[in-house]
Amino acid sequence: MKIGIIGSGHIGGNLGIHLANAGHSVKFSSRHPDQLKELAEDAGENASVCTIKEAADFGDVLVLSIPFWAIEEVAEKTGPLEGKIIIETTNPYPGRDGEIATKARESSKAASTFVADHFQKAHVVKAFNTIYYEHLKNQANRSDNVRTIPYAGDDKVVLELVEDLIRQIGFAPVYVGKLSESHLMDVDQPLYNKDLNEAEVKEIIQNNRIG
Ligand SMILES: NC(=O)c1ccc[n+]([C@@H]2O[C@H](COP(=O)([O-])OP(=O)(O)OC[C@H]3O[C@@H](n4cnc5c(N)ncnc54)[C@H](OP(=O)(O)O)[C@@H]3O)[C@@H](O)[C@H]2O)c1
């Protein structure tokens, strides 16, 4: 697949490497694409660098992995991304992201809905926001007790595709619910930053089911 990485730092960079190693065509981007050449070299022959707009136009799937505060700014550069699949990894941290993160943390809505509001004609899936970047880097393809990746979203076909991508890079996907029901994945919630097996994730989802 053609995959554009928007925000190629700790999470976007490692995800891009895994996806390129799995055979996908990956374009890394950020505000400073010239600084991403070494990353693209590490990712191998399937990877290259470009601007944010170019990555957005290129990818059928986009990984959005930027600070929460920057979502509006990035959306202005990319446009609405109609029909694209966006895997969004963001978390709101008020100390880093300011007012918008405080608003998201205090809201009864799941944080990802604030991201999706900027891309209403795209298919937004939340994933990889619950895993620490070093674990994302080092815990793929564990032979024992495959590391789980909770994910959430609304469109069945899109979810199957994302689930497949998660498996391809050596993790075990576990579906949490619709984007509007992804609270359990948010900062300090039960699925956040925990190395849980599939049964444990499912039990948490079952015990916290909304409605
Ligand atoms: N670190 C973790 O372990 C972890 C785990 C799960 C989720 N997350 C979440 O995932 C997101 C990314 O985290 P990270 O740790 O990968 O961050 P990071 O290492 O700081 O990388 C952020 C990336 O976003 C780019 N960026 C920053 N501001 C931008 C803007 N205004 N417009 C476009 N690109 C911009 C940066 O590159 P330039 O400065 O060159 O533009 C960089 O490539 C955050 O929301 C974070 O909370 C992090």
What is the DSSP annotation of 41-94? HHH-TTEEEE-HHHHHHH-SEEEE-S-GGGHHHHHHHH---TT-EEEE-----H
Structure confidence at residue 211 as a pLDDT band (50, 70, 90): low
* Residue corresponding to tokens 């990555």: 55
For a pocket test of ligand 1, which of 5, 31, 49, 64 has the largest count of ligand atoms closer than 8 A to its C-beta? 31
10 lines ligand 1 (CB under 6 A): yes
Tokens of 105: 């943390």
Inform me whether the pLDDT recorded for 209 exceeds 80. Answer: no
* First vs last C-alpha separation in the chain: 37
Question: Mean pLDDT across the stretch 49-72?
Answer: 98
What spacing in Å lies between the alpha carbon of 206 and ligand 1's midpoint? 31
| pLDDT tens, residue by residue, 19-40 | 999 999 999 999 999 999 999 9
- What pLDDT, on a 0 to 100 scale, did the predictor assign at position 52? 98
Q: What is the DSSP letter of 89?
A: -
Q: Which residue range forms the structural domain that includes residue 144?
A: 2-207
What spacing in Å lies between the alpha carbon of 77 and ligand 1's midpoint? 16
Judged by average pLDDT, the poorest of 17-21, 41-45, 139-143, 182-186 is 139-143
- Number of domains, the chain: 1
Cα–Cα nearest to 64, from 77, 174, 178 = 77
CATH code for the domain in which residue 133 is found: 3.40.50.720
* Residue corresponding to tokens 């599939």: 198
> Which residues, including other chains, have CB under 8 Å from residue 37's CB and lie 6 or more apart?
49
Question: Mean pLDDT across the stretch 15-21?
Answer: 98
Tokens of 158: 């899109």
12 lines ligand 1 (CB under 6 A): yes
129 lines ligand 1 (CB under 6 A): yes
What spacing in Å lies between the alpha carbon of 66 and ligand 1's midpoint? 4
Taking the CB of residue 25, how many other CB atoms lie within 10 A of it? 17
What spacing in Å lies between the alpha carbon of 158 and ligand 1's midpoint? 24
Percentage of the chain beyond pLDDT 90 is 97
24 in Cβ contact with 78 (< 8 Å):
no
117 lines ligand 1 (CB under 6 A): no
0.95 surpassed by pTM: yes
